[in-house]
Structure 1
Amino acid sequence: MKKFVSLFTGMLMIVSVFAQTNFQELTLEKALEKAKSEHKKVFVDCYTSWCGPCKMMAEKVLPLKEVGEYMNERFVCIKVDMEKGEGPDLARKYKVTAYPTFLVLQTDGSLMQRVVGGTLDGKEFIQKVDAAFDENSAANLEAEYVAGNREMNFLLKYTKALITACDLDKAKAVAQDIIGSLEDSQKCTEPYWFIYEDISLSPMGSGNMNYFLKHTEQFREGVGVEKVDKKLVSLFDLQLEEIIRGKNTTATLADVEDIQKTLDAYKLTGQDYLYEYIELIKGMKMGNTDKVLEMCKRVFPKMADEKIAYLYFMPILSLKGKWNDKQKEELDTLTEQLAEQVEMSTLKASLRNFKTAIARL
């Protein structure tokens, strides 16, 4: 009986191992050779030891039965620490700059698909990886592009495929070819809106973004008020949050007042929080602790956990040495309120630790 139980347990362990993604201890060169002999592709999990989402994927998603069955049938899978061994060279070759990144490679080492970032479930991850085999994938369309196809519908399809593959440098270059071939009357229409909408293709300060900001009324007519105003809101949101969190340290009070005038001119509705951001920043720039405290009480209890995590601390820390005892008590109360409110355990701990720092402000 004991032998039967041991045998049964061993079989369960074997089934469990083979049900999950089978990562093999191979160099990329050996993985490519093995994949060629087995008529498979190569899947590379590019990770670092300090990457939290990498660990989440390794523990929660990649071991799933449905993921393992999909991956093992199609790929020779390897993991590469991008800071050790061949990792740094592979990071340069395949332009890996964020983690986790997952690469799908042909047996000659050419890139078929790039998946950047984790997913919450196995189904979503499989869909992203499986895009490598779509006839409209970037890898499949590239040969046609290299052969000289510059038909507009093809270029639009190719650009979108490059975005899906996270090959943003190439996507940006093709998008510029598209925009450069258009008349002004065409630029503000629906087929080309995704180029202006995507911050990676049209970053702040770029020609595309400057064109969009100068022609917002034409874009509203061409693609709709709702889409254009949503884009405008995201731009103001990004600009103001970079000041609040201390990423933009050069913005002056005059700059903030100019932002407010521009915001007024666009007549965006239902975006009162942007004006609250502006008032908070004005308080920070003027060193006005009463104003900052007032706006913190108004702004942060309405925020999602993720935004509290990167926006709450800097407005308070930026005025270190200016808070009086009464204000510190109010900040302590607000911080505890937020700690009770948020769901992220790490953020709860950070907020409660911050209460200790408030006493020393």
Structure 2
Amino acid sequence: MKRLFFLMLILPFAAVAQEGGTRFEQHLSWAQAKEKAKKENKYLFVDCFTTWCGPCKQMKNEVFPQPKVGDFFNKNFVNIEVQMDKTAKDNAEVKAFYADAASIAEKYKVKAYPTYLIFSPDGELVHQFVGSRRADDFIAVANKAFKPETQYITLLKKYAAGEKDPAFLRAFTAGAADAGDDGTRDKVVAEYLASQKDLYTKENLEFLGSFITSSKSKGFEAILKNPDKVDAILGKGKASNMLTPVIMNEEVYNLANSKAEINVDELEAKTKLKYPSVDLAKSFALFRVQWYQYYKKDWPAFQTAALSYMRTYGNDVDVNTLNNLAFTVFKNCHDPACVAEALNWSKRSVEDTKSGVPSFIDTYANLLHKAGKTEEAIQWEEKAINLAPEAEKVNYRNVLDKMKKAEKTW
């Protein structure tokens, strides 16, 4: 069953690989994993997670099970998961890895979760990156591990040795951002910008757009002062797209996360007055959905906001958002017309992932059931059960039992 937009549940250590998804080697010690990678001449991929990590669960449920992710990682890596914290519920396999997990955390400075470490077949750390990602981006970042010019650890060593070529600094900045090394990233961005005589080139503007971290950064100021010039070089609306994330974070989400009471209409008007040249309409439309969904739990207002957002911007929504909005409608909204629209969102998420993510299929099945299409719902829930990890099958079976008894699942 579905899952919050940003916060997910915990990730079990010995996950059973889903058919078509990423295959994690179970029962291997750290030494055995390295030995296996060397013997098979494969890189070693290490997923470092904790049981309290929300993004870890998101990756577990919605990214690692996807066939295209499995195809890439199973072909190129020996894959293992390492639980980095300790809990009273840890099984024998997790406990046996305690010492190695602590050693990995200390030696490779693992502080954020999830952190992904990639070792060459010879056991040398060559690449690392952090955080939850969409499937295609996840594959692209992991793919950097195979080339010295894109391996973060290799770039880090060159930078420490004094490499300052602008082209190198650009590549290194991207690696530092992927690795969650914000201090190094900001330092290198400043060094690169200082080396440039003209910031308003296509290459430099694209670079700035990738690494704007606050409204006080040089890149933010450069784009805000000359949005027409930026759009002329990069395309209509690009200036607003680059500035919007920082503006929304500083002016809106920081306030919302402080648990302050917000009048969304007034906040939108105030923010637009401060940044009149920036198109904030889409971002505020999404914030309205999130405000009523997560902060207020006002389901009638959520329904209105979600329908408005999807009718206006739905063509550009990613599969995770489709699934999360659809499931929220299933759980909390009872207007048949709204359920029907959410059913279409959910169907898109299933189709776009080629029916490979059980949680997405479960959402779709539940919406079919709520819409009165129970026979079809049962067929889809059975598909979710077949794809789900063994530890999660019981949850789907409970849903299926209710469907077969014509009971509510919401």
What is the CA-CA distance between 1:209 and the residue it aligns to? 5.5
What is the CA-CA distance between 1:259 and the residue it aligns to? 0.9
Structure 2: 5+ residue runs without aligned partners?
A: 1-18, 87-97, 347-359, 371-410
For residues 204-215 of structure 1, the aligned pairs below 5 Å read 204-208=214-218, 210-212=220-222, 214-215=224-225
Q: 2:208 aligns with which of 196, 199, 209?
A: 196
Q: Spell out, residue by residue over 1:229-285, the C-alpha distance to the aligned partner (whole angstroms, 9 max, x if none).
A: 3324555666787489x536447555433213245x2164xx7546767999999xx
What is the CA-CA distance between 1:104 and the residue it aligns to? 0.8
Which residue is 1:154 aligned to? 168
CA–CA separation in structure 1 for the residues paired with 2:282 and 2:112: 33
What is the CA-CA distance between 1:46 and the residue it aligns to? 2.8
What is the CA-CA distance between 1:296 and the residue it aligns to? 3.2
> Of the two, which has the highest radius of gyration?
1
Change (3 A) 1:238 1:108: same
Structure 1: 5+ residue runs without aligned partners?
A: 1-16, 315-327, 354-361
For residues 1-361 of structure 1, the aligned pairs below 5 Å read 23=25, 25-28=27-30, 31-32=33-34, 41-48=43-50, 51-55=57-61, 59-61=65-67, 67-71=73-77, 77-84=79-86, 85=98, 86-87=100-101, 90-91=104-105, 93-95=108-110, 97-99=112-114, 101-106=115-120, 107=122, 109-114=124-129, 116-117=131-132, 120=135, 128-137=141-150, 138-163=152-177, 167-182=181-196, 186-198=198-210, 201-208=211-218, 210-212=220-222, 214-217=224-227, 219-220=230-231, 223-234=234-245, 242=253, 246-247=256-257, 249-250=259-260, 253=263, 255-263=267-275, 265-266=276-277, 268=279, 273=282, 296=305, 299-302=308-311, 303=314, 304=317, 306-307=320-321, 332=335, 335-343=338-346, 344=360, 345-346=362-363
Secondary structure at the counterpart of residue 229 of structure 1: helix
The one-letter amino acid paired with 2:156 is E
Secondary structure at the counterpart of residue 46 of structure 1: strand
Preserved CA contact (<8 Å) 2:212 2:219? yes
Secondary structure at the counterpart of residue 45 of structure 1: strand
The one-letter amino acid paired with 1:207 is S
CA RMSD of aligned residues (A): 5.2
What is the CA-CA distance between 1:155 and the residue it aligns to? 1.4
How many pairs are equivalent? 302
Q: Spell out, residue by residue over 1:197-237, the C-alpha distance to the aligned partner (whole angstroms, 9 max, x if none).
A: 12xx3223442465246423454456554421332455566
CA–CA separation in structure 1 for the residues paired with 2:278 and 2:27: 59
Which residue is 1:356 aligned to? none
The one-letter amino acid paired with 2:273 is K
CA–CA separation in structure 2 for the residues paired with 1:197 and 1:35: 38
What is the CA-CA distance between 1:65 and the residue it aligns to? 6.6
CA–CA separation in structure 2 for the residues paired with 1:62 and 1:293: 34
Structure with larger RCO (C-alpha < 8 A, sep 6+):
2
Preserved CA contact (<8 Å) 1:21 1:69? no
CA–CA separation in structure 1 for the residues paired with 2:302 and 2:44: 54
TM-score in terms of structure 1 length: 0.59
What is the CA-CA distance between 1:53 and the residue it aligns to? 2.5
Secondary structure at the counterpart of residue 23 of structure 1: coil
TM-score in terms of structure 2 length: 0.53
Secondary structure at the counterpart of residue 83 of structure 1: coil
Change (3 A) 1:213 1:282: farther
Secondary structure at the counterpart of residue 158 of structure 1: helix
What is the CA-CA distance between 1:111 and the residue it aligns to? 4.0
